[in-house]
Amino acid sequence: MTARARTNARRAAVLGSPIAHSLSPVLHRAAYKELGLSDWSYDRFDVDEDGLPGFFEGLGPEWAGLSLTMPLKRAVIPLVDEISETAASVEAVNTVVFTEDGRRVGDNTDIPGMVAALRERGIEEVDSAAILGAGATASSALAALARVCTGEVVAYVRSEARAAEMRQWGERLDVEVRIADWADAEQALRAPLVIATTPAGTTDALAAAVPERPATLFDVLYEPWPTDLAARWSAYGGAVVSGLDLLVHQAVLQVEQMTGRSPAPLDAMRKAGEHALAAR
């Protein structure tokens, strides 16, 4: 390897704990190959909140950026020099870009990734929507709905504590949020857009209640896939947006920010993700 090649080599990685399951290396490496960035590498590191500051301290000038998953999306905020308005709106950073002048810039590509995934399916605007669940992903879903939903969002939750959190996020994001009990979650399935943000298995019991003519389901899971709910939804002719769609679209934005190359190769990245999931 020549000295010039060593100088031009750039690094990026995904951090989180656990991290072995992450598809991010598959997606980013597929993008680098398609873009001809043979001197770029993308790895994964198991890093928890306690280890994050030390990891940052050890980064050299060859680093271009980082992808962050749980539990680091909030823990990283004190370690960056600035964060975007999008990231600030949900207090979550999933992308850090290292600029040429050494600054660390945090962003959130999950939210525009959700919007892009919906638009790919022709969903530009809805007059109402429903969210199943009230965890961390639900706040990003609310932020995405702030861009595509013109009316009420009904959030189906299990506890008053979660209900209070969703009300607070709604006020902060300027989204009209109505809280409903999880026991009534079957009613959500009749909304023009349903976003399922719950862990694997949580919505299985709802599959039998899918209406004959469902509209659009955005299920943020990608493994196992399809979920029972997504399978029934598709069988009844409804449009389904998957967690892989979200993962690919948010990764596209990360690649563009880290490499400065646009557009990132969406199709190649999706095919790589599909192939990796099929091989598991």
In tens, the pLDDT along 100-135 reads 999 999 999 999 999 999 999 999 999 999 999 998
* Residue whose structure tokens are 């999950």: 110
**Confidence class for position 4, pLDDT limits 50, 70, 90:** very low
Average pLDDT over residues 66-83: 97
pTM: 0.93
Which sequence positions are flagged as catalytic? 73
In tens, the pLDDT along 220-247 reads 999 989 999 999 999 999 999 999 999 9
How confident is the model at residue 192, as a pLDDT?
98
